[in-house]
Amino acid sequence: MAKRDYYEVLGIDKNASAEEIKKAYRKKAIQFHPDKNPGDKQAEENFKEAAEAYDVLSDPQKRQRYDQFGHAGVGGASQGGGFGGGMSMEDIFSQFGDIFGGHFGGFGGFSGFGGNTRGGRRVNRGSDLRVKVKLNLKEIANGVEKKIKVKKYVSCNKCHGNGADGDDGSTTCSTCKGSGVVTRIANTILGQMQTQSTCPTCGGEGKVITKKCPECNGEGIVRDEEVITINIPAGVAEGMQLSMNGKGNAARHGGINGDLLILIEEEEHPELIRDENDLLYNLLLSVPQAALGGTVEVPTIDGKAKVKIEPGTQPGKVLRLRNKGLPSVNSYGTGDLLVNVSVYIPESLSSSEKDMLTGLENSPNFQPNKSMKEKIFSRFRNLFD
């Protein structure tokens, strides 16, 4: 299968700036992210394709070679084969630090881990763990500490994670002499080029295990449970993802832990509706309350607030209770509680109540005058702007 043009993959033109390339890739990465498209092979292909395009176009040197020589200039993929050995999901996610870094405060939106080699040798990285945490509005308003139990891979105690049975259980890799990489001379359109790749014998670790640790069967990791304390900042919202570095799965053979990704879910409040940092409440007054005025109580996140109702309050009026909303997660300031007034009209009446209302039917004060009609109409019109 022929490779698609990288500019086409990202949907940008040949003169796109570095910022435009980054933006376009960010969009594609979110669209085709495996978390969003579980089990969708096509999405995964698109995800990898976009990552590969970004890997080339974001690097000025690679981009220049690509512009000049096409796919053959970057990784000799003219046969339609792999991309310099292929980009693994791990490599793709390691790019994400630059792309999505620093979304909110101390948390990165996605796990950002740059560089997974150490002194030429490849260092394994454990996979990320994903958990969902459901929060109510009160927890969101104040921030909350949650303890959750997760099942995950942890480093094997017996072999301290290296996977070998004792000190003589492993030996330096003879293929790469412990460096973890092998060097090859490849003929490319640009002439002979030296390429380095991960040692196929040891997988880049520089060591091979001759006697496996019986506890973990040579993997260096075992299944276990851990209780993790998550500090959730105030103001988070449904769909936000927080990450805790190093709290994911341990890596095979003593590498670097993956991250714990925490997806926020929001519980519905029985009376309050969230609109970003504001809260909305529908206040239902009786006819006498609206006409006579008085004081009523409205629910807030941590209790109740008293609200003064002016005599003659109309349905549709919105009262604003400053700073009774939710704090903003990434800036200062707090939202408001907006109280929408509506009026309850009785659905059944006793005969004496009927008589009273009939007596009021033609009373001038019960007829809306011209200016009131205009005021109510303009509020109605605003609803559709």
| Binding stretches for Zn ion (CB under 5 A) | 156, 158-159, 173, 175-176, 199, 201-202, 213, 215-216
Q: Taking the CA atoms of 33, 35, 38 and 39 in sequence, report the sign of the dihedral they define.
A: positive
120 marked as part of a ligand binding site: no
Secondary structure (DSSP) of 161-189: TS-BSSGGGEEE-TTTTTSSEEEEEEEET
Q: How far apart are CA 279 and CA 337, in angstroms?
A: 5
Q: Which is nearer to Zn ion, 175 or 342 (CB)?
A: 175
Q: Which is nearer to Zn ion, 127 or 175 (CB)?
A: 175
Q: How far apart are CA 159 and CA 165, in angstroms?
A: 6
Q: How far apart are CA 187 and CA 193, in angstroms?
A: 6
156 marked as part of a ligand binding site: yes
Q: Which is nearer to Zn ion, 176 or 326 (CB)?
A: 176
Give the tokens for residue 366: 């019960």
Least gap, CB of 72 to Zn ion (angstroms): 29
Q: Is 378 left (phi over 0), alpha (psi -120 to 50) or beta?
A: alpha
Give the tokens for residue 367: 């007829």
Q: Taking the CA atoms of 200, 206, 210 and 215 in sequence, report the sign of the dihedral they define.
A: negative
Cβ–Cβ under 8 Å, residues 239 and 264: yes
Cβ–Cβ under 8 Å, residues 170 and 162: yes
Kind of pairing between the strands at 273-275 and 278-286: antiparallel
Least gap, CB of 124 to Zn ion (angstroms): 14
Kind of pairing between the strands at 117-118 and 121-122: antiparallel
Least gap, CB of 219 to Zn ion (angstroms): 7
Q: How far is CA 47 from the centre of its chain?
A: 16
Q: Which is nearer to Zn ion, 24 or 156 (CB)?
A: 156
114 marked as part of a ligand binding site: no
Place of tokens 């299944």: 223
Least gap, CB of 121 to Zn ion (angstroms): 9
Q: Which is nearer to Zn ion, 37 or 198 (CB)?
A: 198
272 marked as part of a ligand binding site: no
Least gap, CB of 254 to Zn ion (angstroms): 10
The residue among 101, 99, 107, 117 whose CA lies nearest residue 28 is 99
Secondary structure (DSSP) of 96-138: HHHHH--SBTTB-SS------EETTEE--BPPPEEEEEEE-HH
202 marked as part of a ligand binding site: yes
213 marked as part of a ligand binding site: yes
Least gap, CB of 201 to Zn ion (angstroms): 4
Least gap, CB of 176 to Zn ion (angstroms): 3
Place of tokens 């793709």: 92
Q: Which is nearer to Zn ion, 28 or 122 (CB)?
A: 122
Cβ–Cβ under 8 Å, residues 234 and 329: yes
Least gap, CB of 150 to Zn ion (angstroms): 21
Q: Which is nearer to Zn ion, 9 or 222 (CB)?
A: 222
Q: Which amino acid is at 340?
A: N
Q: Which is nearer to Zn ion, 173 or 272 (CB)?
A: 173
- Binding residues, by number, are 156, 159, 173, 176, 199, 202, 213, 216
- Binding residues for Zn(2+), by number, are 156, 159, 173, 176, 199, 202, 213, 216
